[in-house]
Amino acid sequence: MDLAQMIRNNEVFSKRFDYYSSLGYSEKAATVLSVLTYGNRDLSELIKELGGERILEKLYGWLLEAEGRDPQSAVSDYFVKKRRVESEPRPSFLGGLFGGLSRAKSAPRGRGRAVEDSGALYEECVDIEEPVVGAAAPAATPVMGMSSAMIVGGAAGAMPGMGMINNIGAIPNPGDTGALPNLAELTATDSYEKIEEKDAKSPLTAPTSTFRMTTNTSSMGIILNQIRSGRSVDRSQVRIEEVLNYFDYDEEPPKEEIFKISTELSKTSDDRELLYVYVGAGGEVKEYQNIVLLLDVSGSMSSQNVQTQQAIATVISKLKKGDKFSLITYSNNDETVFDGFEINGEGDKEDVMGRVLSLVITGCTNGSAGIETAYKIGAEHYKENGNNQVILITDGDLNFGITKKDGLEKLIEEKKKSNLFLSVIGTGLYNYKDDKLEVLCKHGNGTYCVVNNLEDVDRSVNKRYVSLANIVAKDVKAQVEFNPRYVKSYRLLGYENRALAHEDFVNDKVISEPYGAGGHGVALYEIESCATEGEVKQELKYQSAQLTDSDELCTVKIRYKAPLSDESTELAKAVSAKEFKEDSENIRLARFLYCLGEKLRKSDKLSPADEDFYAAMLKDDAYLKLPGGNGELLRLIVGYLN
């Protein structure tokens, strides 16, 4: 098999090869990782046969001598011949679904039944809940088998361009463009926290705006996945603040301080004002890493194996000599693949990836068991003054063990006492549990991103790895106090589900969210100025408003704790009501992203001035000139909306 020519002639393989090479993997390793993907039972068996170390080199040599239309089918065909089952035809699409079920094997602990087909093992997971006395027994809800999760992909990962997925049929992967089956849309079981937009507030009755500051970008990853897969975007998926955070701004990071606050004030065409607040963290990177990768290998992850493998390879590529790496997988049960493996050279990273290729996707999702094991192993290898981090890769479909959000919150609150931090890399389509993953990362003092194709992995894991894995502050809160001398009303754009009470800002018992090194969070306020400077219309029986003569529009305050501290530090920046400059590209980008977010929500909150601004940015593709190299992503969203 001419692997080099295959990669040259296949755009998808070529992009993968270039990416793996850019991470530092050798030519042979990058080749194998580009054309083979973990999750397949036949591939796992082949790796066992090859045995020993340097698995990627052995797989490379094996593929050169193999016969088959592509590397994945070569592995499968090898075992067809070896097992002498040529006379037993493979099931068709429908046969694979229905005929295959008749060959089901018993699953561990009676939670479901395994289905073996084309070398991959899947399992029908059935959620089992205690029946309510006097009520009818709940109907079983299949999570795999004929569920939406199985319909959209196969564990083996098909040869790009073949128009089919191993084990399933002519259905594209979630990262591909093109229509997906209506059945998958109808049986989707995604879950998100509901978003209710807020109205403007008066500083006379609500002088402060307080919220959990965040660097998370997961909402934008979800939106992009919806658009690429041809699905509609739901309001609950659009968190404005995470849309703003996803993009890069022309801001210098702090050099000596942990945080930098940048603000800008802009006049809109309807005589309102827009306040831009940027909070960026310093780039502290600790010398030693103790990374525990917790990988979901349950059946619902079968269609995410390509981008998951890319994310794993990216994390591993960031390890240095002396770092320790642990890998725990979980489905019905958890398995420790690596326990404190010490990196001594580049070859060790490729050995780890060779072992990753032997993993099989199967079973239900006992995430809580995996979390317990991950924290236990992370604590055993804990390094003082090091970076001790658990990184979870999952679609959040926890259907076994602790599954409820309040139970997960209690579990993570207890585990984080070990001073390990939990960050989440989410991936998935049709069965994605964003609400559960938000709980895990918020209470685990970690950050949260979503990846569903190679570009996502490069942007959110590779380029922002330092922020993902190096937490420099926790419980970061923001509070903006407005001066009623100049401000008649204000509205925070986004952060609906991150609002805090005024008194929560100084209450160190109220948790918030962390910041990774080099991370940034952005907030926008829409402000209505007083018609007459210093005008106060509120009349109270027992008190009267007495304004100062300050020329400040507001004060922005940030409060945070050091990663291992229980005491907060506060910093503040005043914003003048008098200083207006020509709009920077940063505030133009943030405003355009806000407009996109509201349009994705199908909201009525955009003002006529915002609509005019949006139309002006679309004219002659002016939005493509905004900073951060975001043009192609913005074009994708604009195309979806128009």
For position 387, which CATH number holds? 3.40.50.410
**106 shares its domain with 120:** yes
* Residue labelled with tokens 């701004």: 249
Instruction: Indicate the length of the chain as a whole number.
Output: 642
| Residue with more model confidence, 107 or 538 | 538
373 within 8 A of 416, measured Cβ to Cβ: no
Q: Which of 326-340, 404-418, 532-546, 571-585 has the lowest mean pLDDT?
A: 532-546
127 pLDDT higher than 90:
no
**609 shares its domain with 515:** yes
Q: What angle do CA 130, 135, 137 make, to 5 degrees?
A: 55
Identify the domain containing residue 169 by its residue range: 93-130+139-186
Cα(105)–Cα(123) distance, rounded to whole angstroms? 9
Q: How many domains does the chain have?
A: 4
Nearest to 512 by CA among 464, 411, 441: 441
Q: Report which residue type is found at 296.
A: D
Q: How confident is the model at residue 407 (pLDDT cuts 50, 70, 90)?
A: confident
Task: Classify residue 197: in a domain, yes or no.
Answer: no
Q: Report which residue type is found at 462.
A: N
Task: Classify residue 544: in a domain, yes or no.
Answer: no
Average pLDDT of the residues in 404-421: 80
Give percent helix, percent strand, percent coil of the chain, each to the nearest 5.
35, 20, 40
Query: Residue 99: its pLDDT value, please?
Result: 33
Cα separations (Å) of 526 from 108, 212, 274, 435? Answer: 56, 18, 5, 28
**Is residue 435 exposed (0-12), middle (13-18) or buried (19+ Cβ within 10 Å)?**
middle
Domain end position, chosen among 439, 469, 499 = 469
Query: Residue 219: its pLDDT value, please?
Result: 97
**511 shares its domain with 631:** yes
Query: Residue 538: its pLDDT value, please?
Result: 61
Task: Classify residue 383: in a domain, yes or no.
Answer: yes
Query: Residue 403: its pLDDT value, please?
Result: 56
Q: How confident is the model at residue 605 (pLDDT cuts 50, 70, 90)?
A: very high
Query: Residue 1: its pLDDT value, please?
Result: 87
40 within 8 A of 159, measured Cβ to Cβ: no
Q: What is the DSSP string of 437-496?
A: HHHHHHHTT--EEE--SHHHHIIIIITTHHHHH-EEEEEEEEEEEE-TTTEEEEEESS-G
**150 shares its domain with 117:** yes
**243 shares its domain with 294:** no
Cα(363)–Cα(331) distance, rounded to whole angstroms? 5
Task: Classify residue 88: in a domain, yes or no.
Answer: no
Provide the percentage of residues in the chain whose pLDDT is more than 90: 61
**232 shares its domain with 155:** no
- In CATH, what number is assigned to the domain containing residue 595? 2.60.40.1230
Query: Residue 539: its pLDDT value, please?
Result: 64
Q: How confident is the model at residue 100 (pLDDT cuts 50, 70, 90)?
A: very low
Q: How confident is the model at residue 413 (pLDDT cuts 50, 70, 90)?
A: confident
Query: Residue 380: its pLDDT value, please?
Result: 95
**487 shares its domain with 457:** no
Q: How confident is the model at residue 187 (pLDDT cuts 50, 70, 90)?
A: low
